[in-house]
Amino acid sequence: MISAQKDSVRYLDFSEPFVNSELYHSLRSQILDLLPQSIYSPSQESVDGFLSECVSSHESGAEKKLCFAALDDLNHVLGFVQFRSFSSDADLDFVLVSSHCRGRGIGKLLLQNSFLFLKRNGVERIILEVGTGNSAAKRLYVSLGFMEVSLRKNYYRSGEDALVMELLI
């Protein structure tokens, strides 16, 4: 369990031993249900595969898949984030906060707590791509200390460009 809490929100690392099969399937279902709330969401198949791999990827391999969620007292998913970690670097693949929870700081705290976990596990740099039109996400990343490093033309299926940003932790 990621330790920080705010407004009865708990921050959960999917690899924790107490994430049993029943809890995992409940969280998985809720996360897949949240995906249509963002135009930047990856496919359900992609996230489903990622979730199934992240529970066991801590044990071996160069690439580790990491998933974190913000939960309320009833284990309802309020937000979700996924990373791929390669030794001292991590890619922030996707972050989503439920539309009814946006603006409460849940995404920021979820990311900050995830960064603490990553830092404790040897990650020194986090890289992400964000759509140039996603001003709310860009503001969030800048507030966390991310800096723009490059631009990827036509990165998204829609043809939108993506900013590449990095954070040294």
129, 155, 156, 166: the active-site residue: 129
pLDDT of 2 strictly over 50: no
Per-residue pLDDT band at 12 (split at 50, 70, 90): confident
Q: Which among 92, 95, 74 has a CA at the least distance from the CA of 26?
A: 74
Q: Is 53 a catalytic residue?
A: no
Give 40-55 pLDDT, tens digit per residue: 888 899 898 888 887 6
Q: How big is the CA angle at 139 (ends 146 and 126), to the nearest 5 degrees?
A: 25
Given this model, what pLDDT does residue 137 score? 93
Structural domain of residue 96, as residue ranges? 2-168
11, 141, 148, 160: the active-site residue: 141
pLDDT of 57 strictly over 70: no
Give me the chain's average pLDDT, please.
Answer: 88
CATH number assigned to the domain comprising residue 150: 3.40.630.30
Q: Is 141 a catalytic residue?
A: yes
Q: What global pTM score does this model have?
A: 0.85
Given this model, what pLDDT does residue 38 score? 87
Give 71-119 pLDDT, tens digit per residue: 998 999 999 999 998 889 999 999 999 999 988 999 999 999 999 999 9
Angle, in degrees to the nearest 10, between helices 106-120 and 135-143:
50
Q: Which among 89, 113, 94, 83 has a CA at the least distance from the CA of 168?
A: 89
Domain count, the chain: 1
Q: Which long-range contacts (CB under 8 A, 24 or more apart) does 37-43 make?
A: 37/96, 37/98, 37/99, 38/96, 39/158, 40/94, 40/131, 40/134, 40/137, 40/156, 41/94, 41/96, 42/93, 42/94
Given this model, what pLDDT does residue 56 score? 63
